[in-house]
Structure formats: structure tokens, C-alpha cells
Amino acid sequence: MRCYECGKADYVPGTATETYESDGVTTIIIDVPAHVCPNCSDNYMSANVIKRLDVIRETAMKSGALFSVYRYGGDAPISLEAVAELIAVPHD
Ligand SMILES: [Zn+2]
């Protein structure tokens, strides 16, 4: 399917990073299964994936942490040390 954003490429299966901010709480979710445009990085997710993201966001809001990073497949936040490593090592 053609990218809605740039119209120059087709979406391909990949992963995305979602960032949410509400009430002073920042939640980042990595490794989210998504359809990604190789040209402009626009992406969209299936309804099931969005449901799962909502569950993770709720968990994060209840945790009381002001900043947390979750992996899509995980139930507990990733430690900041692990996050630093993820940022340091280019993956893909
Ligand atoms: Zn695009």
C-alpha cells in the first residue's frame, strides 16, 4: 500500500517507536510492530497492536514513574541502563 504521507513508497513490515506524554508522564514503547514507509518513516499499526499499546500505557501511568520505556512484548519497563545501550548500539 502506498504511503499516505509522501506517496513515494509502499509500506513494509517493520517496527516503530511510540512516544506518549500525558499529565507529565512520558512513556516510550519500542519494537512496536508496524507498517513503515521506507522513504519518510511514516507508519501505521493494526487495531490489535494499538490495543496492546493502550494496555502498556495504562500500566505505565499506574506505575507512578514519570519516564519509562517499555518493549512492546514486555510487561515491565526496561531499565535506563538497557535503554542507554539500545541508543548506543545502532540496530537494524
Ligand atoms: Zn512515506
- Over residues 9-46, the pLDDT tens digits come to 999 999 999 999 988 999 999 999 999 999 999 999 99
Centre of ligand 1 from the C-alpha of residue 91, in Å: 21
46 Cα–ligand 1 center, Å: 17
Judge contact between 63 and 27, C-beta under 8 A.
no
Distance in Å, CA 75 to ligand 1 centroid: 31
The reply to whether 4 falls in a domain is no
Any domain includes 5: no
Evaluate if residue 89 carries a pLDDT over 80: no
What's the confidence (pLDDT) of residue 83?
A: 81
Write out the three cell numbers for 41.
518513516
DSSP code per residue over 41-89 = --EE--HHHHHHHHHHHHHHHHH--SEEEEETT-SSPBPHHHHHHHHHS
Residue 1 lies in a domain: no
Whether 61 is covered by a domain: the verdict is: yes
Domain assignment present for residue 43? The answer is yes
Q: Is the residue at 60 inside a domain?
A: yes
- Can you give the pTM of this predicted structure? 0.83
**What is the pLDDT, as a whole number, of residue 74?**
85
The amino acid at residue 56 is I
Q: Which domain holds residue 50?
A: 12-88
Using the structure block, give the residue that is written with the C-alpha cell 514519570.
66
Domain membership of residue 6 (yes or no) is no
Residue type, 57: R
Query: How many domains does one find in the chain?
Result: 1
Residue 56 is part of a domain; what is its CATH number?
3.10.20
